[in-house]
């Protein structure tokens, strides 16, 4: 008897992809003169960095004869040059040059190729996604100012998980899983509030440390569906900058950058590194659950489940 493999329908494919600012890469990944085809939101776009150091992003197909602008194209000055007929496009989606004619209509000079708004902040490339190309509705959030000099970037991590992007911020509101999955010794006391496009959580929780349980504070600022900045103040002071970006409705790219304050003693640095390893361990504990759970549109929530 031959074994057969079945794929269970988990319900995420039917969910819409939300709009917002989403991290799609690290700034250093695209040097001057380089082009990348980016595959997110169930679609593609092409991004390039011009000679002036600025990033631009457009839809992937040349409106002239349909060539893919991420395949065998090149950067000419600040423009993206199509490989098929060498039409050049600027960052506004307009035709900057056609090598074999000067008869370029004003309309295509202004714009004939849809663009993607983008911002670079804290070393991350963010693009604005909206299914109808609506303009950005809020600004990209920045990490908080360091209380003593400049933050030290101590770790960069990324994961691709097979789940809709909404599950990840919801996971942060699921207070009861902290003990079951992560071994947090006591239920957290939390404040929760929504301010416009921003969700703020302040969680006071008991944590396990080499010196025994101690109380720590977790301060979360989530802006839109794609950004979350978390400050951990306990045995040390760590900032986690998180980007949650949908690849499709059923797959999500998660990026973390972990920072600590400068000037740590050797002992304090070891404690801080252990704290950051614990954070990475926690998401690695979550990922097998995310990769295999189903979408519960009407979960059986009870008192104590938190503001899911």
SS (H, E, C) 93-104: CCEEEECCECCC
Residues 119 and 140: their CA atoms lie apart, in Å, by 8
Neighbours of 302 (CB within 10 A): 7
Residues 196 and 128: their CA atoms lie apart, in Å, by 18
Q: Which residues contact 186 (CB under 8 A, 6 or more apart)?
A: 179, 205, 206, 213
Residues 244 and 253: their CA atoms lie apart, in Å, by 6
Q: Are 187 and 176 in contact (CB under 8 A)?
A: yes
Characterize 49-73 residue by residue with b for buried, 16 or more Cβ atoms within 10 angstroms of its Cβ, and e for exposed: bbeeeebbbbbbbbbbeebbbbeeb
**Nearest alpha carbon to residue 161 among 290, 255, 22:** 290
Residues 187 and 306: their CA atoms lie apart, in Å, by 10
Q: Distances from the Cα of 130 to the Cαs of 21, 44, 107, 146, 301, in angstroms?
A: 9, 13, 24, 33, 31
Q: Give the three-state DSSP class for 300.
A: coil
| pTM value surpassing 0.85 | yes
- DSSP 8-state code for residue 29: G
pLDDT in tens, 13-37: 999 999 999 999 999 999 999 999 9
* 22 sits in which H/E element: strand 20-26
- DSSP 8-state code for residue 145: P
pLDDT in tens, 236-262: 899 999 999 999 999 999 999 999 999
Residues 295 and 227: their CA atoms lie apart, in Å, by 22
- From the centroid of its chain, how far is CA 281? 19
- pLDDT in 10s for each residue of the chain, 308 residues: 444 444 689 999 999 999 999 999 999 999 999 999 999 999 999 999 999 999 999 999 999 999 999 999 999 999 999 999 999 999 999 999 999 999 999 999 999 999 999 999 999 999 999 999 999 999 999 999 999 899 999 999 999 999 999 999 888 888 788 888 988 776 666 788 899 999 998 877 666 665 667 677 889 999 999 999 999 988 889 999 999 999 999 999 999 999 999 999 999 999 899 989 999 999 999 999 999 999 998 999 998 887 77
| Residue 246 half-sphere exposure toward CB, CA atoms < 13 A | 26
Joined together, the tokens standing for residue 155 give: 């770790």
């Amino acid at each position: 008897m031959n074994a057969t493999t079945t794929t269970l329908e988990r319900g995420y494919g039917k969910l819409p992809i939300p709009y917002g600012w989403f991290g799609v890469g690290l700034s250093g990944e695209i040097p001057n003169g380089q082009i990348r085809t980016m595959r997110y939101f169930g679609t593609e776009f092409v991004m390039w960095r011009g000679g002036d150091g600025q990033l631009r992003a457009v839809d992937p197909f040349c409106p002239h004869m349909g060539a893919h602008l991420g395949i065998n194209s090149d950067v000419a000055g600040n423009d993206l040059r199509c490989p098929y007929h060498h039409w050049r496009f600027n960052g506004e989606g307009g035709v900057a040059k056609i090598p074999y004619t000067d008869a370029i209509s004003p309309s295509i000079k202004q714009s004939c190729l849809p663009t993607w708004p983008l911002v670079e902040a804290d070393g991350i490339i963010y693009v604005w996604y909206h299914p109808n190309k609506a303009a950005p509705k809020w600004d990209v959030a920045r990490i908080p100012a360091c209380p003593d000099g400049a933050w030290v970037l101590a770790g960069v991590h990324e994961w691709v998980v097979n789940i809709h992007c909404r599950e990840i911020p919801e996971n942060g509101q699921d207070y009861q899983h902290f003990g079951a999955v992560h071994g947090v010794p006591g239920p957290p006391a939390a404040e929760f509030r929504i301010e416009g496009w921003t969700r703020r959580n302040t969680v006071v929780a008991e944590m396990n440390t080499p010196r025994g349980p101690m109380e720590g504070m977790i301060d979360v600022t989530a802006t839109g569906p794609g950004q979350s900045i978390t400050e951990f103040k306990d045995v040390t002071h760590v900032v986690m900058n998180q980007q949650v970006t949908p690849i499709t409705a059923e797959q999500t790219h998660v990026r973390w950058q972990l920072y600590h304050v400068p000037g740590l003693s050797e002992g304090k640095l070891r404690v801080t590194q252990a704290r950051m390893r614990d954070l990475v361990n926690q998401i690695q504990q979550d990922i097998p659950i995310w990769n295999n759970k189903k979408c519960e549109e009407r979960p059986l929530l009870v008192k104590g489940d938190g503001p899911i």
